[in-house]
Structure 1
Amino acid sequence: MDPIAPVHGTATLLVIAAVAVALLLFLIMKLRLHAFVSLVLVSLITAVVAGIPVADVPATLLFGFGGTLGAVALLVGFGVMLGRLLEVTGGAQVLADTLINRFGEKRAPFALGVAALIFGFPIFFDAGLVVFLPIILTVARRFGGSVLYYAIPAAGAFAAMHALVPPHPGPVAAGEAISADIGVVLLVGLPVAIVSWYVGVYLVSKVLGARFDIPLPDLLFGEVNGGTTPGTTYDDTTGTRGGATGTDAGTASGTVLTRTRTTPSFGTVFGLLLLPLALISFNTVLTTLVTTGAIPEGNVWVEYLQLAGNTPVALLITLLVAIAVLGTRGRSLAETSDILDAALAPICSIILITGAGGMFGFVLRTSGIGTALTESLENVGIPLLLAAFLIATALRVAQGSATVALTTTAGLIAGQADEAALTDFKLALVVVAIAAGATVLSHVNDSGFWLVSRFFGMDEKTTLKTWTVMETTLGVTAFAIASVLWVVT
């Protein structure tokens, strides 16, 4: 759906946006109304007040909700099922133990962040986060302390790669809009992302972890024996069937069954995590080759390979392989299905709230609020790099989506960038500045905000004080690096 022709002036639209966000925070944080109900209610009110035709309001709400849900539900569902299977079989513990043995206990958060930077190169933020979730929580459970020490470095790494580094869609689309060389954008964006992650995420996570003691959420962990190290065995004794109580699926109620199972090796677990990375990377490479004409369009085998590398399909394939490799170790397929079924129950609220957050952001975009905000900044006469950052920030705050902020800002400043006759290096810095602005101030109209909030068991106020702060320091650090490079080159 396209944005409507605004029926209010810029000032009125900006006031509507501010009041909508304030109302949402009041309902959730003060009245303690459920976040899902609050998001839907405020989205409805905002759509009517902002001037979306009343007859179009239901379609607008459902389009925004369905679009976000379609992108998130499959990823979260498959990812959490995979994570639960890794946790129950001891695979997550094996990988966590190996990471800690290699990097040391004190550098566990750093190890998680570095691993997430590597995995985040081809994988989108939400997909990477759900795949990595069991590893983050397993390390946090082992060493204790606030879960933020471990969650922020990994989640921030995925966020940095998603915002700043091709082949992710935001920087690619922004680069194409201003005629930047995507190869140069990659060469500039990657080191900027790494340095920004270390300064704006990893160092900040130490401060946030010390200030906010967030306990380990029970999203994945039940009372299941998970094993210890590769090759060891353990007794699995169960008195009830099914995963509803958190126990491993056994037999009928009242039956006690003792089994001996081996935990998977590090190579097996690492291979499972590499599988979606490989599939998605292969899809990215093939898509690039088709786009550039190196491979002709319409090649059936290429299309099948691209399908296998589509993110939800790649996660489905990985889950099926995990079921075959891990789920059948001393279990029947029915017992494994019980484990997977139990994994889905805790994420229903996450999926619905995330979809509603996408609905709210879509209403703001459709109503023209984001456009009104950027147009008010467009002709101020500020330098190009700063204008790119501020416009992207305004769009990010107004409508939530980082990708939309990236692509829209690039289109708005493309003419100015073309007139400036910039070098490829400086065009790449403009893309970095746009990406930096599109990263800061993630809040209640961003579906990623709700994903992080629910995954790590934080209320909205705490998420604003932690995740929003981290996203802002990440974006500001990236912009600061781009500004310094702009001046010295």
Structure 2
Amino acid sequence: MSAGPLLGIAAAAVLLLLLMIIRFKVHAFLALIVVSLLTALATGIPFEAIVPTLVQSFGGTLGAVALLVGLGAMLGKLVEYSGGARVLADRMIALFGETRAPFALGIASLLMGFPIFFDAGLIVMLPIIFAVARRLGGPILLYALPAAAAFSVMHVFLPPHPGPVTASEFYDANLGLLMVTGVVLAFPIWWLSGYLWGKFVAKRYPFVLSNTLFNEVKEEEITNPPAVSTVLFMLMLPLLLIFMNTGLDFLRSLGAVDVNQAWFSLLRAVGTTPVALLISTLVAMLVLGHRRGVEGNALEKVLDSALAPICSVVLITGAGGMFGGVLRASGIGDALSNSLGDLGLPVIVAAYLVAVILRLAQGSATVALVTAAGLMAPSVIGADFSAMQVVAITLATAAGSVFAGHVNDSGFWLVGRLLGMDVKTTLKTWTVQQALESLVGFIFACLIFALF
């Protein structure tokens, strides 16, 4: 099919999905499966390939999300059950004050988001966010949205995350220069599109925390809470392990290490996100469980209670990945980006728009960034751009890849369900935040391109 019919099918699929969920109250998990199946049929995917495409897309997303959310929920439950989240929340409020709590949570998330992926970082940070929200009794979006936006900014714009690293390799960009520029821009991008937007939407949607991923632990159930330093250690442990992995990958991209060495492969494996969270959870069982007198069946019940609330989150997120996978398999994004390449736009604008279209068409920011960079690489490498202008084009492509994440993005469902939002509210809050983040990032990239 040409780009026109494919675009019409994609638009109709999204509208049908929203209609089923919002108007007819069909459960999101079922609606996503039905729409994914109908989209596969409408786009001409061979009948014998439809079910394998659905299952592979669902399983690919579920394999990553279930491990991260499951292990992260267990770790978060231990931090919450031990009273650690409340202890750390009280210390943060004492240090920064009640009015600066959202800002402090956002800054902490920016720092944590340097080495850790978006979804894993959000899961690890959630018990602290929820504890602060309960402690102060304010709208959950006031505290959660700035933090989620911070993880998104770091994941999209900064090495050593896989998207910007791969894009820099395609464009032959200076990775060190890209990192320095990204660090400088990360704060203003987050402040404009995450912190200020979070304060604004919290006034429009002032719902408070009702039931969290970790459930609420009553004050009288907490005995012998851990010290603040212990809680910080438990939060920093997965961060340090993952940083080891991403740091090694960064050194690999610079050619500074021999990737054939056994120690390199071992340390990278230990620092992968699922293994890092597993190690952290096992350490938390010892530090926050056994050493506090919680062991045996009691500890098993604590960990088991963390899994039930996440079942819906995991399944819906996997189904969102299924929908995005069907759209990728249909070739919608490729058809649109190829037709856009013939318009004769400036390279930095074309790179941004190609990434935007790929993002809207198939959902994944990383896939959109890597694919757009691959498509635009010949035009960038063949032109006479300065090193800083190539960095600006890389940042513009990254900005396009995060634009307006919606129902075909697994992250959309993850954020919405974790924060207790329905689809309509998630579209009005998170989707708009992602669009603002994209536009602000693109403006900064254009300024750099023009000045250098």
TM-score bucket of the superposed structures, by smaller chain: over 0.9
Residue 474 of structure 1: how far off its partner (Å): 1.0
Larger helix proportion, structure 1 or 2?
Answer: 2
Report matched runs for 1:372-451 at 5 Å.
372-451=335-414
Task: Select the residue among 459, 466, 477 that pairs with 2:429.
Answer: 466
Alignment partner, residue 127 of structure 1: 120
Equivalent-residue separation in structure 1 for 2:265 and 2:296 (angstroms) = 32
What is the alpha-carbon distance in structure 1 between the residues aligned to residue 114 and residue 67 of structure 2? 21
Does the 8 Å CA contact 2:388/2:448 hold for their aligned counterparts? Answer: no
> How much has 1:300 moved relative to structure 2?
2.4
Q: Does 1:147 align with 2:140?
A: yes
Instruction: Establish whether residue 188 from structure 1 lines up as the match of residue 154 from structure 2.
Output: no
Determine the C-alpha separation between the residues in 2 that align with 1:263 and 1:355: 36
- Check conservation: 1:165, 1:190, Cα contact below 8 A: yes
Residue 29 in structure 1 maps to residue 22 in structure 2: yes
Partner SS, residue 51 of structure 1: coil
Overall identity of the aligned pairs, in % = 52
1:343 maps onto 2:310 in alignment: no
Is the Cα contact below 8 Å between 2:112 and 2:239 reproduced in 1? yes
Q: Structure 2, unaligned stretches of length 5 or more?
A: none
| 2:270 counterpart residue number | 308
Residue 293 of structure 1 and its aligned partner are, at CA, apart by 4.2
Alignment-derived partner of residue 480 in structure 1: 443
CA distance in 1, matches of 2:214, 2:251: 42
Once the two structures are TM-superposed, the CA of residue 292 in structure 1 deviates from its matched residue by: 4.3
Contact kept in structure 2, 1:327 and 1:333, CA below 8 Å: no
Equivalent pair of 1:167/1:284 in contact (CA under 8 Å): yes
* 1:221, distance to aligned residue in structure 2 (A): 5.0
Match status 1:171 vs 2:134 = no
Do the aligned partners of 1:79 and 1:127 also contact (CA within 8 Å) in 2? yes
C-alpha distance in 2, partners of 1:161/1:290? 20
* Cα distance per residue 1:2-49 (max 9 Å; x no partner): xxxxxx121111111111111111111111100000001100110111
Q: Which residue number in structure 2 is paired with residue 239 of structure 1? A: none
Contact 1:88 / 1:225 at 8 angstroms: preserved in 2?
Answer: no
Determine whether 1:294 maps to 2:256: yes
2:39 aligned partner: 46
Residue type of the partner of 1:436?
A
Q: TM-score, normalised by structure 1?
A: 0.90
Which of these residues, 315, 325, 343, is aligned with residue 287 of structure 2?
325
* Residue 299 of structure 1, CA deviation: 2.4
Distance 1:348 1:362 in 2: 21
CA deviations over 1:197-251 (Å, ceiling 9, x no partner):
001111111110001122204124545335xxxxxxxx54xxxxxxxxxxxxxxx
Are residues 1:208 and 2:194 paired? no
| Corresponding position of 1:230 | none
Normalized against structure 2, the TM-score is what?
0.97
Amino acid in structure 2 at the alignment position of 1:86? V
Report the 3-state secondary structure (helix = DSSP H, G, I; strand = E; otherwise coil) of the residue aligned with 1:200.
Answer: helix
Question: Counterparts of 2:4 and 2:421 in 1: how far apart (Å)?
Answer: 34
Structure 1: stretches of 5+ with no match in the other structure: 1-7, 227-234, 237-259
Are 1:66 and 2:59 an aligned pair? Answer: yes
More deviation, 316-325/291-300: 291-300
How big is the shift at 1:403?
Answer: 0.5
Q: Does 1:160 align with 2:153?
A: yes
Q: Match of 1:106, SS? A: coil
Number of aligned residue pairs: 451
User: RMSD across aligned C-alpha pairs, in angstroms?
Assistant: 1.3
- Residue of structure 2 in register with 1:255 after alignment: none
Range that drifts further, 277-286 or 118-127: 277-286
**Residues 344 and 274 (structure 1), Cα distance of their counterparts in 2 relative to 1, 3 Å cut:** same
Letter paired with 1:271: F
In the alignment, what sits opposite 2:237? 275
The alpha-carbon distance between structure 1 residues 404 and 221, as it changes in their structure 2 partners (threshold 3 A), is closer
State the distance in 2 between where 1:75 and 1:436 align: 25
- 1:80–1:412: structure 2 CA closer, same or farther, 3 Å change rule? same
Contact 2:130 2:212 (8 Å CA) reproduced: no
Q: Distance between the aligned counterparts of 2:143 and 2:265, measured in 1? A: 38
2:84 matches 1:91: yes
Is the 1:189–1:428 Cα contact (8 Å) retained in structure 2? no
Return the alpha-carbon distance in structure 1 between the equivalents of residues 143 and 209 of structure 2: 11
Q: Please say if residues 69 and 120 of structure 2, whose CA atoms lie closer than 8 Å, have aligned partners that are also in contact.
A: yes
For the residues of structure 1 that align with 2:363 and 2:49, how far apart are their CA atoms? Answer: 21
On the 8 A contact 1:180/1:427 being kept in 2, the answer is yes
Shift of 1:138: 0.7
Question: Residue type of the partner of 2:118?
Answer: F
